[in-house]
Structure 1
Amino acid sequence: MPTITRIYTLQQAAEHNKRDDCWVVIDGKVYNVTDYLDEHPGGDDVLLAATGRDATEDFEDAGHSNDARELMKAYCIGELDLSPPPPIEKEKAGLIHKIWDVCTIPSAQDYAILATIVGMSVAAGVFYLRRK
């Protein structure tokens, strides 16, 4: 009977970022290292800092031994979902376009209003200073 592998997203793995519930992602695999935190030679803070992202580069840079790689197998709980994210739904895409439509480039009328406000402010300031 084949082994059923659980598939997790990076977001799901990132939700397990506490000392009593800690998962890390290394080389496309998800590991529950909660029970290993106290035993980790680099300290638990290294593993806790690795949650919420792919920590493969950090793991490789640390120069782990073959024994460490073998030990990891006991903590593997699944694989990372490497499929591309689903396309934006039509409703969400429409909302993005509505927001974009509101964010238009200022027109000449907008600049004229701004110039009028600035001009009136300067005139009021000059008038105020002359009265003193």
Structure 2
Amino acid sequence: MPTLAKLYTMLEASQHNTEDDCWVVIDGKVYDVTSYLDDHPGGDEVVLLATGKDATDEFEDAGHSQSARELMEKFCIGELDTSPPVSSKNQAAVYSEKFLHLTKQYWAVPVAVVGISVVVGFLYLRKK
């Protein structure tokens, strides 16, 4: 049974940018390379500079070998979530649509309150 890859946002990946906690994003995959920093042939500074952004171009420009690509796979922790973030405009539209749906769904409650108020008012005025 195939396992589903965990999705990470670029914001999540960029927060892991220290020697003690280092993630990089390459080709839409997220890698936790913290344990590999000391062993990286180009030094840990090169890897740390690649955090917080998509480092695919830098990785390709460095001319990594096939064995380096195979080694990378053991550090893969998930995939980059490429879905567009929900903007505040879209979120406002979603909330207003939900509100309209609720008011349509529960219209009977305010109508009943108004109806009962009218009947009580009419009965009160009739007794005077």
Scaled by the length of structure 2, the TM-score of the pair is 0.68
- Aligned mates of 2:92, 2:18 — CA distance in 1: 33
CA RMSD of aligned residues (A): 1.7
Question: Which residue identity lines up with residue 3 of structure 1 in the other structure?
Answer: T
Q: Percent identity?
A: 65
- Aligned mates of 1:79, 1:90 — CA distance in 2: 25
C-alpha offsets along residues 65-109 of structure 1, whole Å, 9 cap, x if unaligned? 00000000000000000111213236889xxxxxxxxxxxxxxxx
- Aligned mates of 1:89, 1:39 — CA distance in 2: 46
Match of 1:79 in 2: 79
- Aligned mates of 2:90, 2:67 — CA distance in 1: 50
Question: Which residue identity lines up with residue 61 of structure 2 in the other structure?
Answer: D
CA change 1:92–1:24 in 2 (3 A) is same
Match of 2:56 in 1: 56
Structure 1 runs of 4+ with >6 Å offset:
90-93
Alignment size in residue pairs? 93
Match of 1:125 in 2: none
- Aligned mates of 2:24, 2:5 — CA distance in 1: 16
Extract unaligned runs of 5+ from structure 2. 94-128
Extract unaligned runs of 5+ from structure 1. 94-132
- Aligned mates of 1:79, 1:14 — CA distance in 2: 14
CA change 1:65–1:90 in 2 (3 A) is closer
3-state SS of 2:88 partner? coil
3-state SS of 1:68 partner? helix
- Aligned mates of 1:21, 1:8 — CA distance in 2: 15
Kindly report which structure 2 residues correspond to 1:1-132, keeping only aligned pairs within 5 A, or say none.
1-89=1-89
Question: Which residue identity lines up with residue 20 of structure 1 in the other structure?
Answer: D
Higher helix share: 2
